[in-house]
Amino acid sequence: MVCSRGDSEEKGDDMDVRPSGIHHVTAIASNPRANAEFYLNALGMRLVKRTVNFDSPDVYHLYYGDRAGNPGTIMTFFPWPDAPRGRIGAGQVTTTTFSVPEGSLGWWAEHLAALDIPITRPEERGQEDVLSLRDPDGLLIELAASTDHHDTDPWDGGAVPPEHAVRGIRAVTLTEQEVEGTVEMLNGHLGFQLTEEAPGRLRFRTDTTSDGVGTIVDVLAVPDSRRGLVAAGTVHHVAWRVPDIQAQENWRQTLVEAGVEVTEIRDRNYFTSIYFREPGGVLLEIATDGPGFDHDEPLLELGQALKLPPWLEPRREQIAAHLPELEVKR
């Protein structure tokens, strides 16, 4: 896709469509069924797409989200059955925090206890009411009680009653040995605002005009932390959202001009993507809001059938034969 550069006046408008929040978080898992059972049965999310890793179609790509898989609610996994356990550490998104309704953490504590899933309540989070837990591969996740979720559409067909259901991704936490370059990337290049500062923790807002999901980025400064190793149980990347491919192309150009190494625009079928790294090593993506998950199957049927992009359809039989069973026990 080739888009012409706008003149400076147009560029001024483009800056208004800066990445306005988290689009999705993608992590690595091992057993796909254990992964699906956890995100469907324990977290009550909806499987909004059952597809494959487009770059390696012998592996699933599973997308979980709200009813429609709205940007800001999407958590995705590459479950490599034989993946070794990775190490959560510096240069990674070390925690993904989901938003749940205020007053529902008591319900969640009981629900998770009934499933034998251990939880802790991190002390250092000040006023925030948070439960911390791990998925079957050790991925660190949190549930935070908040009111930031008016813009999502919780899944009411799952294992969690809609009044308690996960609303979306509230925040990501990046752990860094040095924060200077990361701050320059988040604030200087992407335009995120530093809104809170505590010892060792900086809080950025991707969009200070919105109180919707996915607007918080916490950066932890841990100078003596070990570097993370990306494998099962770790986050692969976090994507920020832009409304359309024109905004994405403009952002690509802006980053290139700032000296950032950015990929070409890649077609992910449900959105298009560009990828780049921040100086601390975390892989970042900018993804478009559309075309969305109902572009190749009806909204009511999301996630039930194996969906492939047009360029992999000719190989469907061979691809399907190599994928493991994905029958989820309810």
Q: Decide whether 152 or 288 has the Cβ nearer to Zn ion.
A: 288
Of 274 and 302, CB closest to Zn ion? 274
Say how many C-beta atoms besides its own lie within 10 A of residue 260's C-beta. Answer: 16
Binding mask 95-134 for Zn ion (x = CB under 5 A): ----------------------------------------
**Axis crossing angle, helix 8-16 with helix 245-257, rounded to the nearest 10:** 110
Task: Report the nearest approach of Zn ion to the CB of residue 76 (Å).
Answer: 7
Does residue 172 interact with Zn ion by CB under 5 A? no
Minimum Å gap between C-beta 42 and Zn ion is 23
- C-beta of 28 vs 239, nearer to Zn ion: 239
Among 130, 69, 71, 76, smallest CA distance to 100 is for 130
Using CB under 5 A as the binding criterion, the count of chain residues that bind Zn ion stands at 3
Beginning with the edge strand found earlier in the chain, give each strand of the sheet holding 201-205 in spatial order.
130-134, 140-146, 92-101, 168-176, 216-221, 201-205, 193-198
Do 177 and 92 meet the contact criterion of CB atoms below 8 Å apart?
A: no
Q: Which helix (H) or strand (E) holds 37?
A: helix 32-37
**Closer residue to Zn ion (CB): 74 or 130:** 74
Please choose, out of 23-31, 83-91, 100-108, 191-199, the segment that lies near Zn ion by the rule CB under 5 A.
Answer: 23-31
Nearer to Zn ion, 278 or 285 (CB): 285
**Binds Zn ion by CB under 5 A, chosen from 14, 22, 26, 28:** 26
Task: Compute φ and ψ for 298, nearest 5 degrees.
Answer: -65, 150
179-to-109, 121, 210, 291 alpha-carbon distances in Å: 34, 26, 25, 35
Give the nearest distance from C-beta 184 to Zn ion in angstroms: 23
From the list 141, 28, 42, the residue with the least C-alpha distance to 77 is 28
* 3-state SS, residue 319: helix
Q: Does 285 bind Zn ion (CB under 5 A)?
A: yes
Q: How far is the CB of 210 from Zn ion (least distance, A)?
A: 21
Number of neighbours of residue 326 by Cβ within 10 angstroms? 15
Nearest to 228 by CA among 89, 94, 95, 96: 89
Q: Which stretch binds Zn ion (CB under 5 A): 2-10, 104-112, 209-217, 278-286?
A: 278-286
Q: By C-beta, is 32 or 71 nearer to Zn ion?
A: 71
| Choices 29-37, 105-113, 280-288, 297-305 (CB under 5 A): range interacting with Zn ion | 280-288
Q: How far is the CB of 330 from Zn ion (least distance, A)?
A: 28
Reference 126, options 54, 198, 24, 21; nearest CA is 198
Cβ proximity to Zn ion, 37 vs 285, nearer residue: 285
Q: Residue 26 or residue 234: which is nearer to Zn ion going by CB? A: 26
Please state the closest distance from residue 74 (CB atom) to Zn ion, in A: 9
How far apart are CB 24 and Zn ion at their closest, in Å?
6
Told to check if 239 binds Zn ion by CB under 5 A, we report yes
Q: Is 215 in the site for Zn ion (CB under 5 A)?
A: no
**Residue length, the chain?**
330
CA distance 168 to 65: 7
Q: Measured from the CB atom, is 75 or 239 closer to Zn ion? A: 239
CB of 142 to Zn ion, least distance (A): 20
Closest CA relative to residue 205, chosen from 181, 187, 179, 184: 187
Binding site for Zn ion (CB under 5 A): 26, 239, 285
